[in-house]
Amino acid sequence: MSTNWPELIRQSVLDPRRAAPIIVNIPLDRSAIFLGLALVACLNGIFYGLVLPMEFQVEAFASPVPLALAVGVIVWLSAAALTVVGRLFGGEGTLETLLRVGIWMQLIRLGVQVVLLFVELLSPSLAWMLAMAAWVWGIYMTITFTAAAHRFDTLLKAVGVLGVSFFGAVLALSVLLAALGVAPMEI
């Protein structure tokens, strides 16, 4: 089976409801999925390592390698959380399916970031408006792809899965940081 990747990218952005089932059902073995995760992590690490201003970089993430590792771990943990919570909501998604969706969404998001970088050189205010529009549309795409991955009959269940996963992640991170003794910064 050959896939028209440029068309699938276009369709993912313009008509996510039609593209999501295609991405969910692309036959990939586990090694290809993890290779895709490594690719996405490396591309994000390189991109942010090059374009993120030094004053925004924490010392631990001052090079592309830790950034890539962080992206890879975050994508994997997000897919795992969406798998578990989606199953609680009656979904059928597997970790591999949600990794496939997460990897695809990261590739599209990275492409948008690259485009926004060039638009910002021409017009920073236009880039900001496009970034806000991309953020809102990206949320809709994430909801749509999550619903397809779990084979939900309604997008509302996917909104619930994403909401519970988000608040669970915030709670887990808060507990982890408190256990490590990290205190809030004083202003």
Q: What is the pLDDT of residues 149-179, one digit of tens each?
A: 999 999 999 999 999 999 999 999 888 888 8
CA dist 180 and 176 (Å) reads 6
The SS3 assignment for 40 reads helix
3-state secondary structure of 2: coil
Instruction: State the average pLDDT over residues 5-30.
Output: 91
Least confident of 2-6, 26-30, 69-73: 2-6
CA distances from 61 to 55, 181, 182 (A): 12, 20, 17
pLDDT at 18: 93
pLDDT tier, 183 (very low <50, low <70, confident <90, very high otherwise): low
- The mean pLDDT value for 28-32 works out to 91
pLDDT-derived band of residue 130, with 50, 70 and 90 as boundaries?
A: very high
pLDDT of residue 90: 95
Q: At 151, phi and psi to the nearest 5?
A: 60, 40
Cα–Cα distance measured from residue 128 to residue 84, given in angstroms and rounded to the nearest whole number: 35
Who's near 165: CB < 8 A, 6+ residues apart? 78, 81, 82, 85
CA 77 to chain centre: 11
Q: Grade residue 63 by pLDDT with cuts at 50, 70 and 90.
A: confident
What pLDDT, on a 0 to 100 scale, did the predictor assign at position 73? 93
| DSSP character at residue 148 | H
Q: Predicted confidence band at 24 (pLDDT cuts at 50, 70, 90)?
A: very high
